[in-house]
Amino acid sequence: MNPFAKVLLCTTSLLPAIVVLPSAIFAQVDPTTVYARAFALLAAEPYVKQGFHMREDYWTGDLASGERKAVRQQLFKGNEYWFWLGTEVDHAKVSVHIYNSDGKLAEQPDSWEKDHFAAAHIIPKTTGSYFIIVSVEESPEARTHWALGYGFR
């Protein structure tokens, strides 16, 4: 089954969010990016139900096994954030972790990773720039697409 159909079968309240993925994405972006994004949305679903506002903007890319990339993001003290990572590649192992501008691990201990998903949770102690590091630790594919979104409350 194609991964997008798999995601569609997996959720109810996620459906509107996927439906409103800009049509331009489907027209112009590599479909694997859309699938990866759909998995990130799926990871976000339970948290959105808990009151997190998931941003419409997101980051995407592809990495080989063992590679990592850093995304720099402004976070505000007083808010609580979750970052959700998704990939469409079966049997890939992906991770996401959050570091402060000094390079110190800044996430909460309930951050997790499993199957197509990984998530990192932060309650920033200071307002400023943070680094969100996305890694593909193992993958059967040469390049593994990923999508990273975040939400706050």
- Kindly list the residues in this chain that would bind another protein in the complex (CB under 8 A): 9-14, 20, 22, 24-25, 28, 42-43, 45-46, 53, 55-59, 61, 67-74, 76-79, 95-97, 99, 101-105, 107, 109-115, 117-120, 126-129, 131, 133, 150, 152-153
**Smaller CB distance to another protein: residue 14 or 141?**
14
Query: Rounded to the nearest whole angstrom, what is the least distance from the CB of residue 83 to another protein in the complex?
Result: 11
Render the burial of 63-94: b for 16+ CB within 10 Å, e for the rest: bebeeeeebebebeeeebbbbbbbbbbeebbb
**Smaller CB distance to another protein: residue 32 or 116?**
116
Query: Rounded to the nearest whole angstrom, what is the least distance from the CB of residue 140 to another protein in the complex?
Result: 19
Query: Rounded to the nearest whole angstrom, what is the least distance from the CB of residue 120 to another protein in the complex?
Result: 7
Query: Rounded to the nearest whole angstrom, what is the least distance from the CB of residue 28 to another protein in the complex?
Result: 7
Sequence-distant (≥ 6) Cβ neighbours of residue 35 within 8 angstroms: 2, 3, 4, 7, 88, 145
Sequence-distant (≥ 6) Cβ neighbours of residue 105 within 8 angstroms: 97, 98, 99
**Smaller CB distance to another protein: residue 32 or 39?**
39
d(CA 112, CA 23): 31
